Chains A and B, each alone.
Chain A
Amino acid sequence: MDNQTIVQIHNLEKRYGKKQVLHGINLEITSGQIIGYIGPNGAGKSTTVKILCGLINDFEGDINIFGKDLRTHTLEIKQQVGYIPENAVLYESLTPMEFMEFIGEMRGLENEICRSKAKALMNIFEMKPNLNQRIATFSKGMRQKVMICSALLHNPDLIFMDEPLSGLDANSVIMVKEMLTHLAREGKTIFYSSHLMDVVEKISDRIILIDQGKVIADGSFEELNKLSNDENLEKMFTRLTGNTNHGEKAEAFINAFEK
């Protein structure tokens, strides 16, 4: 499959009131890639993802997704996009089946197809017995699984994930990682935001590091590594985001107890 440009971000800026969170982000993303989107807390990761998914509408700059302007073709773009939010926000009093039926119908899926897909997806996560139980009774990991299933229901071409592995057990983590590589091989694009550096390092084809609303590193881990010779992504992250004195801080932490 030839790689075509899926997402084009040009000079994206975003302000909350007077506070500017994004200072001109420029990105081009091609299909079939897993993009690791990393950065310290408050760097603007979630804001970018929210803008790309259409949760936040007022921003400055231009965004093209699938060659269409996000501002004018919002609905068509949303049709092909899947989003897994950071905190699994679900309607507690619905069952996963009811929830996915709702999501599916909103996306214009036939009810029958929607049901069978929901069953199949939940089955992969070994959650078929829970299909008709209320979400309120689920653990964090189970909710996350429901969230992942409902975001993949309509077979999106572009998937945004905000810390998708939180709360999942080891088996599910391996499964999701495998799933992501499979999806990418099929030509889907995955935009993956996380704080787990080792996971990002392993699965990402390309890593984008942002800090204080700006892109400060962009490329595959190998490319980035050539420039700097860090032994792993964690070290690189630390060096680039300007927190090198962890040793001292840890010591100060210990000292605080001894007083």
Chain B
Amino acid sequence: MIKFLLSLFKPFRWFIEKMDVDYDQFIRILQLKLTLDNRQMKGLGNHSKNETENALTKQSFAQIMFGIFFAIFLLMIKSPFTYYYFAHTFLMVMMAMMIISKFTTILFDTSENVIIQPLPIKGNTISLARNAHVLLYLSMMAFNFSVVSIIVAITKFGIISALVFSFSIGLNVLFTLFLANMLYLVIMRFASGEKLKNLLMYFQIVIAILFMAFYQFGINLVDRTQIQNMVLPVHWYTYLVPPAFFSGLVEAFTSFVFDYRHCIFIVEALTIPIIGIYLTGKYLTPIFNRKLMDLEQGDRVSKVKTETTHQSLWYRMMLAVFVHRQEEKASFKLVWTMTGRERLFMQTFLPSLGFIVIMVAVQFFRKNSFNVDELIHSPLYLFILYALMFVAASLPAALLLGNNGHATWLFKTMPLSSPAHYFKGFIKAAFARFFMPFYLLVSVGICVLWGYKAIPDVVIALLSIYLITLLFYYIQELVFPFSNEKRASQGGAAFIKVMGLMIIAVILGFLHFFLLRWFNYASLLLVPFYLGVIYYVNRVFVYKKINWEEVDKANAYS
């Protein structure tokens, strides 16, 4: 596959050499980068590194599958302009996500400078190889995502239309690359080093949540017949929306209409990406490379923020509520401080938070009549409270992620009777710091809407969520926090986990609901029950389950 991709550059050899680039070196660097992509490490920790050789092929397959799902949605649309508009928007969003998630690490990885820079390679060759790598990657992705939509387009709008569509995808890739470059430069103007990485992380989280919101609302709220007959109107500002250029171009060649409206689109579609890529090569890349050089020294130059050692009132309160043993204090504090700074943790946890909020919102708006009176007399708030169980239950898995695998020896060298103390402290801290404030906020909202009589229910739901979170954490693989670089396999196990959680949430929710129906304060019976089980889990179960033998199996202490 790599050989094939590299052979694509052969016809452009004269062009590449004209840019004052050593062709052989260029191809070799590109080959290296692709080989590295192809060999992404999978598996947990250092001890079980499974080596995969075909990461690219596997990834392509997944992308094609994703493209099929999208094509099913597109299949319903009759208007060619709308069809291509959505296809291009989808592509741009996917590529933007890809650039942000994958290429942020590649673009800002300056460690390889130590290898590449001392070699006799021209600056031009390095930057061209870098751009070609990104471009190749994006084109491959764009092709995979839209290959099914292209086939659908052939059957719907004919072969010429589909061919022009394929061509416009190429333009779209160039344009997105230009946009991404612009975006990075703008961001880099305002931030550097750690701050920059944090900024990109939040950006990524926001996009992920927006994407989910768009999808959820789109699926649930839009009528199917509406999609079928949807025709996007063309306003003056439509000429400023990038996907519209490309869809306008394709539509012109589908229905062979070349009025002034289509001509504007055609001109835009053809010129803007070309100008963009010219600007990228001529001005943006050199600036970018210079900034990258600075970035390497980044934190040394810019002022490094001093962290405050001051402990907030919230921390002290939560410590008093959750931690009653001296041994747990240190691990509680460790996770409390680190969760806020570990990017992988935030990247996993915050989107799940956003996702639940969106799901709940969709449920609200689904009933077209948003009637407050009716709402107050329904026990919908129970649904909201138990839906939050998914937020809390994503904490255990999120806690595993991070780049601190090499620091786990620390725990093993401490003279502590049982590792259970550590794990209790970890999950309590994560729960207290991230879930509690969010839950309190929602509770206040619920009490405003449903009145004070909801307070016991809020407490009961909290207890049950706490219990389930603890159990999830103690049962999962006993890896120390922030030590897995890659997400664990998202396959069957994760699915079963989510289904199991769903069933548990529904059962506990209904138990609560029926007791509430039975007589007014029957649900209060659950309070001693949950407290008892939590006590058992934290005092007996956890010490039985978590011992050094089990913990040593899961960690490498490298």
List A residues at the B interface (Cβ < 8 Å).
16-17, 19, 53-58, 74-76, 78-79, 81-83, 85, 87, 89-94, 98, 102-103, 105-108, 134, 136-137
Q: Contacts A16-B300, A91-B112: A102 and B32 contacting too (C-beta < 8 A)?
A: yes
With A and B bound together, what is the CA distance between A91 and B106 in angstroms?
A: 13
**Interface status of B321 (Cβ within 8 A of chain A):** no
Q: Are B120 and A75 in contact (CB under 8 A)?
A: yes
With a cutoff of 8 Å between Cβ atoms, the chain B residues found around residue A90 in the complex are: 115
B462 CB → nearest A CB, Å: 43
- A83 near B118 with CB under 8 A, answer yes
Q: Which residues of B contact A94 (CB under 8 A)?
A: 32, 35-36
* From A16, A81, A136, contact of B41 by CB (8 A): A136
User: Is the C-beta of B57 less than 8 angstroms from some C-beta in chain A?
Assistant: no
By the criterion CB–CB under 8 Å, are A55 and B113 in contact?
Answer: yes
* Mask of B19-62 contacts with A, CB within 8 angstroms, 1/0: 00000110011001001100111000000010100000000000
Residues of chain B within 8 A (CB-CB) of A87 are 114
The distance from the CB of B38 to the nearest CB of chain A, in whole angstroms, is 9
**A106-B119 in contact (CB<8A):** yes
Chain A residues closer than 8 Å to B40, beta-carbon distance: 93
For this complex, 25 residue pairs linking A to B, each with C-beta atoms less than 8 Å apart, are A16-B301, A17-B301, A53-B118, A54-B118, A55-B113, A55-B117, A55-B118, A58-B293, A78-B120, A89-B111, A89-B112, A89-B114, A90-B115, A92-B41, A93-B40, A93-B41, A94-B35, A94-B36, A98-B35, A105-B25, A105-B28, A106-B28, A106-B29, A106-B119, A134-B39
Nearest-Cβ distance from residue B53 to partner chain A, whole angstroms: 10
B302 CB-CB contact with A under 8 Å: yes
Q: Of residues A82, A92, A93, which shows the largest number of chain B Cβ atoms within 10 Å of its Cβ? A: A93
- CB of B117 within 8 A of CB of A136, answer no
Task: Report whether B297 and A105 are in contact in the complex, using a CB–CB cutoff of 8 Å.
Answer: no
- Give A89 to B296 CA distance when docked, in angstroms: 15
Evaluate whether A81 and B118 lie within 8 angstroms (CB atoms) in the complex, with A16-B301, A17-B302 already known. yes
Q: Is B517 an interface residue (CB 8 A)?
A: no
Contacts of B300 in A (CB 8 A): 16, 19
Nearest B residue (CB) for A77:
B120
**Known contacts being A79-B120, A94-B35, is A55 close to B28, with CB within 8 Å?**
no
In the complex, what distance in Å separates the CA atom of A103 from the CA atom of B28?
10
In the docked arrangement, what's the CA distance between A102 and B27, Å? 11
Q: How far is the CA of A91 from the CA of B111 in the complex (A)?
A: 10
CB–CB B24/A93 < 8 A: no
Question: In the assembled complex, how far is the CB of residue A48 from the closest CB belonging to chain B, in whole angstroms?
Answer: 14
Chain A neighbourhood of B35, CB < 8 A: 93-94, 98
Task: Name the distance in Å between A118's Cβ and chain B's nearest Cβ.
Answer: 16
Q: Which residue from chain A places its CB closest to the CB of B27 in the assembled complex?
A: A105
Asked if A54 meets B117 with Cβ closer than 8 Å, knowing A16-B297, A93-B41, A102-B32, the reply is yes
Are B119 and A78 in contact, with the CB atoms below 8 A? yes
Does B341 sit within 8 A of A, measured CB to CB?
no
- Check if B24 sits within 8 Å of A76, measured CB to CB: no
Q: Which of A57, A102, A106, A108 contacts B293 (CB 8 A)?
A: A57
- By beta carbon, the residue of chain B nearest A150 is B115
Q: Which A residues are CB-close (under 8 A) to B497?
A: none
Name the distance in Å between B51's Cβ and chain A's nearest Cβ: 7
Please tell me if the beta carbons of B301 and A102 are within 8 angstroms of each other in the complex: no
- The answer to whether B120 touches A76, judged by C-beta atoms less than 8 angstroms apart, is yes
Question: In whole angstroms, how far apart are the Cα atoms of A85 and B112 in the complex?
Answer: 11
Chain A residues lying within 8 Å of B39, measured Cβ to Cβ, are 93, 134
Is there contact, CB below 8 Å, between A106 and B120?
yes
Apart from A58-B293, A98-B35, A105-B28, 18 more pairs, CB < 8 Å: A16-B297, A16-B301, A19-B301, A53-B118, A54-B118, A55-B118, A57-B293, A74-B120, A76-B120, A78-B120, A91-B32, A102-B32, A106-B25, A106-B119, A106-B120, A107-B120, A134-B39, A134-B51
Q: Is B122 interfacial (CB 8 A cutoff)?
A: yes
User: Closest approach, in angstroms, between the C-beta of A240 and any C-beta of chain B?
Assistant: 25
Give bound CA distance, A78 to B113, whole Å: 14
B444 within 8 A of A: no
User: Quick check: is B533 within 8 A (CB to CB) of the other chain?
Assistant: no
B121 touches A106 (CB 8 A): yes
Closest 8 CB pairs between A and B? A17-B301, A93-B39, A78-B120, A83-B118, A75-B120, A55-B117, A79-B120, A53-B118
Residue of B nearest to A108 (CB): B120
Bound CA span A16–B51, Å: 40
Please indicate the chain A residues that have their CB under 8 angstroms from the CB of B51 in the complex.
Answer: 93, 134
| Neighbour of A89 across the interface among B29, B115, B302, CB < 8 A | B115
A102 to B121, CA, bound (A): 12
CA distance A108 to B51 in the complex (A): 30
With both chains docked as a complex, state the minimum distance between the C-beta of A36 and any C-beta of chain B, in angstroms: 21
Query: Shortest distance in angstroms between A91's beta carbon and chain B's nearest beta carbon?
Result: 6
Q: Which of B88-122 contact A (CB under 8 A)?
A: 111-115, 117-122
User: Are A103 and B119 within 8 A (Cβ)?
Assistant: yes
A17–B304 CA distance with the chains assembled, in angstroms: 14
Chain A: CB-nearest residue to B120:
A78
User: Which of A16, A55, A98, A107 touches B114 (beta carbons < 8 Å)?
Assistant: A55
Residue in B closest to A80 when the chains form the complex, CB atoms:
B120
Q: How far is the CA of A19 from the CA of B293 in the complex (A)?
A: 16
A93-B120 contact in complex given A106-B25, A106-B28, A136-B49, C-beta closer than 8 Å = no
The contact of A91 among B113, B115, B120, B301, by CB within 8 Å, is: B115
By a CB distance below 8 angstroms, the chain A residues around B25 are 105-106
CB distance from A193 to the nearest CB of B (A): 14
In the complex, the answer to whether A137 meets B49 with C-beta atoms within 8 Å is: yes
Please name the residue on chain A nearest to B290 by beta carbon.
Answer: A58
Measured in the bound complex, the distance between the Cα atoms of B168 and A92 in whole Å is 38
Smallest distance from the beta carbon of B6 to chain A beta carbons, Å? 14
Is the pair B112, A78 in contact by a Cβ cutoff of 8 Å?
Answer: no
Task: Evaluate whether A53 and B115 lie within 8 angstroms (CB atoms) in the complex, with A16-B301, A105-B28 already known.
Answer: no
Residues of A within 8 A of B120 (CB): 74-76, 78-79, 106-108
How many whole Å from A92's CB to the nearest CB in chain B? Answer: 8
